[in-house]
Amino acid sequence: MPSESAMRPTRIRYRIIALIFLITSLNYADRATFSIAGEAASAELGLGAVQTGFILSAFAWAYVLAQVPGGALLDRFGTKRVYVAAIALWSACTALQGFVGWVPGVTAVTALFVMRFLVGLAEAPSFPGNARLVAAWFPARERGTASAIFNSAQYFSLVAFAPLMGWLVHAFHWRAVFWVMGLLGLVAAAIFVAFIHGPDRHPSINAAELELIREGGGEIAMERSGAPSQRTFTWHNVRQLLANRMMLGIYLGQYCINVLTYFFVTWFPIYLVKERGLNIMEAGFAAAVPAICGFVGGLAGGIVSDRILARTGSLDRARKVPLVLGMSLATLILACVWVDQEWLVILFMSLAFFGKGVASLGWAVMADVAPRQLAGLSGGVFNMFGNTAGIVTPIVVGFIVAGTGSFDLALAFVALHCVLTIIAYTAIVGPIRRLELAA
């Protein structure tokens, strides 16, 4: 007769999500390296504002363009092989940025643009890969929390790594930021190889946990090693995704949610300095408060979603209720138009980002609805739509501020997208359920 410990499920899936969280935090930190080191690097390398802008844009363009191919690679070759290669490549390209200006015949602008572009290409499979791992490792009732944990890494990264990178610039040299972060990435790749496997291949999982995941709808065989699977990136498959009303509503919702995200990471510090009169150091500390609130909100949204699912059994209600409530709270960003005190601005921004964190269940929804044979491709299309906001938002806000001399309409633009997210999930998506492809 099996012992009580053998019958009790292990908790290997919690270790998996903890590692995904740490790797995703590093992922976001590597995106921000030039933002931290950029001022000192620009001064030494003689980069102007326009050149710096092109360098900063390189990541977003590559990241968006590579989403669908990256998702298709995950479906064909499996998460582990593609993700490990991605971590190693983006880490190497991060480290190489520290050597810019030392290679004869290559301008700093060209070298930095190419390296940043390659970082964007390499990071493209990361979030679809996270979604695949959550779909494989977690029963449906736990996916909201699991997805919220890795998604909240975007906020944790700012709090954890920005001070480290700032200290490296101050204590050593701007080049040290790229070398240290690149080295940490290579260590992360080795950790991924050693500890992350599919549920049916993990050496430490017991039969009880495997059965718990299987009974809860986990795709335990998704990451089974073996020969590459059939190519999923076909226009027929893409058309099936884009022709489905539920998927289109989810894609639109993710784009609208990310408008708020990209306003925060691009224009928010400038807003605090230009519109609110803070100095750059004050703006840096002020920006950390909404980030922490977003992190807390992200975890809260996932936990609440899973509790609603456990109590009601309704996947539709479990995902949509936090989304609608969270984005309703996020519209408070518009209140900043009518307040003068800086502390009130930070308060409303913090509430907006807490709400945005609560509503950030898009990746949990993708784990729930993606066709089993197109999990990577579905996630790639989803992330492509979502990160298009990283191209649109900075440009639109820039035109608004240049044309009006104020951020008021820019805040209205962001708040409007919060409302559009609610419309997308309540009027377009319909019942949330797994998409079954036509033969």
In CATH, what is the architecture of 10-218? Answer: Up-down Bundle (1.20)
What's the CA gap between 350 and 311, in Å, rounded?
30
The CATH fold of domain 232-439? Growth Hormone; Chain: A; (1.20.1250)
The Cα angle at residue 37 between residues 36 and 43, in degrees rounded to 5:
130
What's the CA gap between 296 and 109, in Å, rounded?
38
The length of the chain in residues reads: 439
Q: Are 195 and 19 in contact (CB under 8 A)?
A: yes
Hey, what are 176's tokens?
A: 């040290």
The DSSP secondary structure of 83-135, one letter per residue, reads HHHHHHHHHHHHHHGGGTT-STT--HHHHHHHHHHHHHHHHTTHHHHHHHHHH
Q: Are 373 and 232 in contact (CB under 8 A)?
A: yes
| C-alpha distances out from residue 225 to 103, 188, 201, 229, Å | 41, 21, 8, 10
Longest dimension (CA), the chain: 76
The DSSP secondary structure of 323-353, one letter per residue, reads HHHHHHHHGGGGGGGG---HHHHHHHHHHHH
The amino acid present at 235, given as its one-letter code, is W
- Report pLDDT for 409: 92
Q: Are 259 and 392 in contact (CB under 8 A)?
A: yes
Q: Where are the domains of the chain?
A: 10-218, 232-439
Count other Cβ atoms within 10 Å, centred on residue 55.
25
Prediction pTM value: 0.76
- Report pLDDT for 415: 95
If phi over 0 gives left and psi between -120 and 50 gives alpha, with beta otherwise, what is residue 313? left
Burial of 133 (0-12, 13-18, 19+ CB in 10 A): buried
What's the CA gap between 176 and 70, in Å, rounded?
30
- Report pLDDT for 236: 76
Note whether 10-218 and 232-439 share their fold: yes
Q: List, in order, residues 6 or more apart from 50 with CB less than 8 Å away.
A: none
Distance of CA 433 to the CA centre of its chain: 23
- Report pLDDT for 227: 45
What's the CA gap between 34 and 332, in Å, rounded?
31
**Of 417, 16, 400, the residue nearest 198 (C-alpha):** 16
Q: List, in order, residues 6 or more apart from 100 with CB less than 8 Å away.
A: 41, 45, 108, 111, 112, 115
Low-confidence residues in the chain, pLDDT < 50: 1, 225-227, 280
Q: List, in order, residues 6 or more apart from 113 with CB less than 8 Å away.
A: 54, 55, 58
